[in-house]
C-alpha cells in the first residue's frame, strides 16, 4: 500500500500543499518523516515548485559573525582571534535571516575573500584565504540548501589564486573561474571550469589579458570576465571585458569600454532581464541596456545613509545593495523594486531590517532560487 504524503488528503491536493512550504520551514519538514525528507529533496519537488511559480530568491552571504566581537566589546576587551566569517541566508520575500550549520571541521569559518556561486539549489564556495594563517586556499565546499548538508569538492587546480572572477551556469551545472593573482602577486590569464555534479575541474583556454581583481558573471551562454588589471598596473582597473562562449569553447575578442568607469567592478551584476547593473561614483546605480545603444544610464541614487556600496545582488525584478552606513560604519542593506520602473517613475529603496547578529561585514554574495 502506498504511503500518503499527507494522511486523508488526495495526492494532488497534498502535493499542492507540500510545494507551498516556505524555505525557512524546510529543516522542520525534513525532520518529520523519511517520506517528507525524500520528497523535499527530490528534483521533481523543485521542478513542480518552480513551474507553479512558487520558487523564491534566497540571498547567500559570506558574512563576518559579529557575535564574538560584540561579546568582547561588552567586556571592554579586544579579541585576538581571527575574524570568523560564516554563511548567512536572507529571504527577500519574508525578510527572514538564518545561518546554516558551519562546514564540518572548520571551526574557523569560511575562508576570507572566498568566492560563491549558485548552481540550482547548491552553493559552491571556492578559494579564499585561511583566516588562521592567511595562506591562499584551493579548497571547494558545496552546500545543499535543501538537504542542509555540506560536502567537500575537488580542489581547484593550478596556481593558488586570489581575487578571481567566479560565476555559474545553471544550465551547464558548472562554476567558472578566471584571472586573479597567484601567490607571487602575478596577475593571471588562466581560467577553469568546475562541473558540480561530476566534481571535476577542466582547464579553459587562457584569456587574452591578465586580470586581477576582476568580476565574473554568466549571461547569454557566456562567462563574462569584467575589468581587472595586469601585474604591472596594480589597482589601475581597465574598462574592458572578455567573454567565454561555452558552446564554441573559446574566448571572444576583448570588448573595450565595457565599463563606464575605470573602477573596481565588484558591484557589477546581470539581472534576470539580461541588463547589467553597477554602483558608480557619485552615489548612483547605473544600468546598461541594449535598447540604450550600449550606454550606461542612471537608474537610481543610492540611499543617503550608504557611504560605501560593497555588494550588489540581483534577482528577478529586484536589486539588493549592501554596504557601510555613513555614520558609524555599520553594515546596512536596501532592496530596489525594479518592477516599478517606468517612464517618469522614481524607484524607491526599501531598507532591510537586519538583526544584530547579521550586521557583520559581507565579503561576497550571490542569489539562488529555491
What residue ranges define each of the domains in the chain, with the CATH number in brackets?
Answer: 1-55 (1.20.1280), 57-79+267-358 (no CATH), 100-265 (2.120.10.80)
Count of CB atoms situated within 10 Å of the CB of 170? 14
pLDDT in tens, the chain (370 residues): 467 788 877 888 878 888 888 887 888 888 888 888 888 888 888 888 888 888 899 999 999 988 755 444 444 444 444 689 999 999 999 999 999 999 999 888 999 999 999 999 999 999 999 999 999 999 999 999 988 999 999 999 999 999 999 999 999 999 999 999 999 999 999 999 999 999 999 999 999 999 999 999 999 999 999 999 999 999 899 999 999 999 999 999 999 999 999 999 999 999 988 999 999 988 899 999 877 777 899 999 999 888 888 999 999 999 999 998 876 667 899 999 998 766 557 899 999 999 999 999 999 999 999 8
List the one residue out of 290, 278, 156 whose CA is nearest residue 217. Answer: 278
What distance, in Å, lies between the first and last C-alpha atoms of the chain? 32
CA 350 – CA 336 distance, rounded (Å): 6
In degrees, rounded to 5, the angle at the alpha carbon of residue 164 between the alpha carbons of residues 234 and 297 is 80
Give the DSSP H or E segment for 226. Answer: strand 222-226
Residue 323 gets the label, from left (phi > 0), alpha (psi -120 to 50) or beta, of beta
Q: Hey, which residues does 193 pair with through a beta bridge?
A: 176, 202
Could you give the CA distance from residue 64 to residue 362 in angstroms, rounded to a whole number? 6
- Cβ-proximal residues to 345 (8 Å cutoff; 6+ apart), any chain: none
**With contact defined as beta carbons under 8 Å apart, do 240 and 209 qualify?**
yes
User: For position 80, what pLDDT does the model report?
Assistant: 40
pLDDT at 217: 98
Which residues share a beta bridge with 58?
A: 368
Q: What pLDDT, on the 0 to 100 scale, is given for residue 344?
A: 52
Three-class SS state of 185 = coil
Cβ atoms of residues 290 and 273 within 8 Å: no
Cell 552553493 -> residue = 123
Give pLDDT, residue 77: 47
What element of type H or E holds 321? strand 318-325
Name 12's Cβ contacts closer than 8 Å, sequence gap at least 6. Answer: none
Ramachandran angles phi, psi of 17, nearest 5°? -70, -45
Question: Residue 200, class by beta-carbon neighbours within 10 Å (0-12 exposed, 13-18 middle, 19+ buried)?
Answer: exposed
Amino acid at each position: 500500500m502506498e504511503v500518503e504524503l499527507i494522511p486523508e488528503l488526495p495526492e494532488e491536493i497534498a502535493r499542492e500543499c507540500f510545494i507551498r512550504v516556505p524555505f525557512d520551514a524546510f529543516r522542520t519538514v525534513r525532520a518529520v518523516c523519511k517520506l517528507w525528507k525524500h520528497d523535499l529533496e527530490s528534483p521533481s519537488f523543485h521542478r513542480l515548485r518552480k513551474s507553479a511559480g512558487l520558487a523564491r530568491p534566497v540571498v547567500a552571504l559570506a558574512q563576518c559573525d559579529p557575535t564574538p566581537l560584540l561579546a568582547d566589546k561588552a567586556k571592554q576587551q579586544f579579541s585576538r582571534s581571527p575574524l570568523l566569517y560564516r554563511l548567512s541566508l536572507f529571504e527577500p520575500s519574508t525578510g527572514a535571516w538564518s545561518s546554516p550549520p558551519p562546514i564540518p571541521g572548520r571551526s574557523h569559518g569560511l575562508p576570507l575573500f572566498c568566492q560563491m556561486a549558485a548552481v540550482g539549489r547548491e552553493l559552491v564556495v571556492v578559494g579564499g584565504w585561511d583566516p588562521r594563517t592567511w595562506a591562499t586556499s584551493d579548497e571547494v565546499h558545496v552546500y545543499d540548501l535543501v538537504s542542509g548538508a555540506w560536502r567537500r569538492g575537488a580542489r581547484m587546480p593550478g596556481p593558488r589564486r586570489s581575487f578571481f572572477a567566479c560565476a555559474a551556469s545553471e544550465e551547464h551545472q558548472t562554476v567558472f573561474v578566471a584571472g586573479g593573482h597567484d601567490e607571487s602577486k602575478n596577475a593571471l590569464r588562466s581560467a577553469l571550469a568546475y562541473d558540480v555534479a561530476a566534481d571535476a575541474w577542466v582547464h579553459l583556454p587562457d584569456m587574452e589579458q591578465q586580470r586581477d581583481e576582476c568580476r565574473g558573471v554568466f549571461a547569454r551562454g557566456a562567462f563574462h570576465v569584467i575589468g581587472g588589471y595586469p601585474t604591472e598596473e596594480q589597482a589601475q582597473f581597465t574598462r574592458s571585458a572578455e567573454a567565454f562562449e561555452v558552446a564554441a569553447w573559446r574566448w571572444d575578442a576583448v570588448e573595450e569600454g565595457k565599463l563606464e568607469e575605470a573602477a573596481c567592478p565588484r558591484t557589477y551584476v546581470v539581472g534576470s532581464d539580461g541588463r547589467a547593473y553597477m554602483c558608480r561614483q557619485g552615489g548612483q546605480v547605473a544600468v546598461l541596456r541594449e535598447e540604450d545603444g550600449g550606454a550606461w544610464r542612471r537608474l537610481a541614487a543610492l540611499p543617503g545613509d550608504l557611504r560605501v556600496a560593497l555588494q550588489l545582488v540581483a534577482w528577478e525584478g529586484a536589486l539588493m545593495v549592501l554596504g557601510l552606513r555613513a555614520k558609524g560604519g555599520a553594515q546596512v542593506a536596501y532592496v530596489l523594486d525594479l518592477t516599478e520602473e517606468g517612464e517618469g517613475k522614481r524607484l524607491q529603496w526599501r531598507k532591510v531590517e537586519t538583526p544584530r547578529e547579521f550586521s557583520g561585514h559581507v565579503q561576497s554574495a550571490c542569489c539562488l532560487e529555491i
